[in-house]
C-alpha cells in the first residue's frame, strides 16, 4: 500500500476549514464529518468525506491533499519533480473549470498556501461510472464531444501561470529521461527511436495549443445520467497543461481493443 510522508490533518482541522465555505454556499453548519480513504488514490492522499449538516442533510465530498508531502510513495518514486506543480489542480478547478460551468466537480473549498505548504481541494463527490466500464458507444462519443468543447472553449483564453505549457523542450526531456534510466542493454534500441521522436516533437510543437486535461484516459472520466441529461465529468486534473488537443484524444482512445468480438 502506498503512503504519504505527512500525517493526515485531523477531522477538527477539516471541519474548521470547511465550515466557512459550507455556511457561505449552503447556509448551513457542520454537525459531524465522517472520513474514509479513497480507493482512487494513485498520486496524492485522497479521502471520501460524508458531511452531516445541521438541517439533517448529508453532503459527499472528496478531499484531495496536493501538498508535496502528501505525494504517495509510488508516485514519488516515479514522478520527476519538474512534472509536479502543487497548486495547478487547485487553480484549474477554482479559476478555470468552475467559472466555465462545464459539469466538472464543484470545488466547495480549496486553498493553495505556499507559506504553510498546504494545497487542499474539497470537491463534490460525483456519482458516476468510469468511462472504461461503459459499453455504450454514444456515451463515448459524448465524452469526445465534451473534450472538443473544452479545447475550443479555451483555445484563446488565458489560464493561470501554474498551468504549464508543453513545448519542444518538454517533449525532448522525456526522451532524455528514457535514455538516462533505460535498463542495461536497451539504450541502443531507444536511440534508434530518437529521429522518429524528434519528428514527432516538431509535429506536436507546430499544432495549435489549448487547455488540455493531460491525462484524459477513460478511467479519469465519470459519466452518469442526471435530471438534465448525461453528465460527462473528467476528474484528476493534476496534469492540466497548455498543449495540442491531440494528446487528450490519444489518451481517450488508448487501450481500445480493435479485435473483433467473439461470436
- Does pLDDT of 98 surpass 70? yes
For residue 186, the model assigns a pLDDT of: 87
Neighbours of 157 (CB within 10 A): 10
Q: How far apart are CA 101 and CA 90, in angstroms?
A: 16
Instruction: Give the pLDDT confidence of 201-213 residue by residue, as tens digits.
Output: 999 999 999 999 9
Instruction: Give the pLDDT confidence of 48-60 residue by residue, as tens digits.
Output: 999 999 999 999 9
Which of 71-75, 77-81, 186-190 shows the highest mean pLDDT?
186-190
Q: How far apart are CA 194 and CA 179, in angstroms?
A: 10
Q: Give the mean model confidence (pLDDT) for residues 20-41.
A: 94
pTM exceeding the 0.85 threshold for the entire prediction:
yes
For residue 44, the model assigns a pLDDT of: 80
Q: How far apart are CA 93 and CA 99, in angstroms?
A: 9
Task: Tell me the Ramachandran region of residue 157: left when phi exceeds 0, alpha when psi lies from -120 to 50, beta otherwise.
Answer: beta
CA 63 to chain CA mean position, Å: 13
Coil, strand or helix: which one is 212?
Answer: strand
Q: Which residues face 33 on adjacent strands?
A: 51
Is 70 exposed, middle or buried (CB count within 10 Å of its CB: 0-12, 13-18, 19+)?
A: buried
For residue 255, the model assigns a pLDDT of: 61
Amino acid at each position: 500500500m502506498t503512503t504519504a510522508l505527512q500525517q493526515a490533518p485531523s477531522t477538527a482541522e477539516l471541519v474548521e476549514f470547511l465550515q466557512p465555505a459550507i455556511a457561505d454556499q449552503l447556509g448551513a453548519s457542520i454537525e459531524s464529518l465522517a472520513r474514509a480513504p479513497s480507493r482512487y488514490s494513485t498520486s496524492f492522499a485522497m479521502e471520501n468525506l460524508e458531511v452531516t449538516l445541521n438541517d439533517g442533510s448529508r453532503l459527499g465530498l472528496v478531499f484531495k491533499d496536493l501538498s508535496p508531502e502528501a505525494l504517495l510513495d509510488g508516485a514519488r518514486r516515479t514522478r520527476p519533480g519538474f512534472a509536479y506543480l502543487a497548486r495547478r489542480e487547485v487553480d484549474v478547478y477554482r479559476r478555470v473549470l468552475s467559472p466555465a460551468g462545464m459539469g466538472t466537480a464543484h470545488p466547495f473549498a480549496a486553498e493553495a498556501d505556499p507559506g504553510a505548504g498546504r494545497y487542499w481541494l474539497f470537491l463534490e463527490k460525483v456519482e458516476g461510472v468510469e468511462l472504461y466500464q461503459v459499453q455504450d458507444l454514444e456515451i463515448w462519443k459524448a465524452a469526445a464531444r465534451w473534450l472538443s468543447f473544452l479545447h475550443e472553449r479555451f483555445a484563446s483564453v488565458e489560464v493561470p501561470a501554474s498551468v504549464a505549457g508543453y513545448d519542444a523542450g518538454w517533449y525532448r526531456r522525456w526522451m532524455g529521461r528514457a535514455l538516462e534510466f533505460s535498463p542495461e542493454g536497451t539504450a541502443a534500441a531507444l536511440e534508434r527511436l530518437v529521429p522518429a521522436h524528434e519528428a514527432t516533437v516538431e509535429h506536436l510543437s507546430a499544432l495549435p495549443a489549448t487547455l488540455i486535461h493531460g491525462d484524459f484516459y477513460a478511467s479519469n472520466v465519470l459519466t452518469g445520467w442526471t435530471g438534465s441529461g448525461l453528465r460527462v465529468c473528467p476528474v484528476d486534473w493534476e496534469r492540466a497543461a497548455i498543449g495540442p488537443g491531440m494528446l487528450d484524444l490519444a489518451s481517450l482512445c488508448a487501450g481500445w481493443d480493435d479485435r473483433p468480438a467473439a461470436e
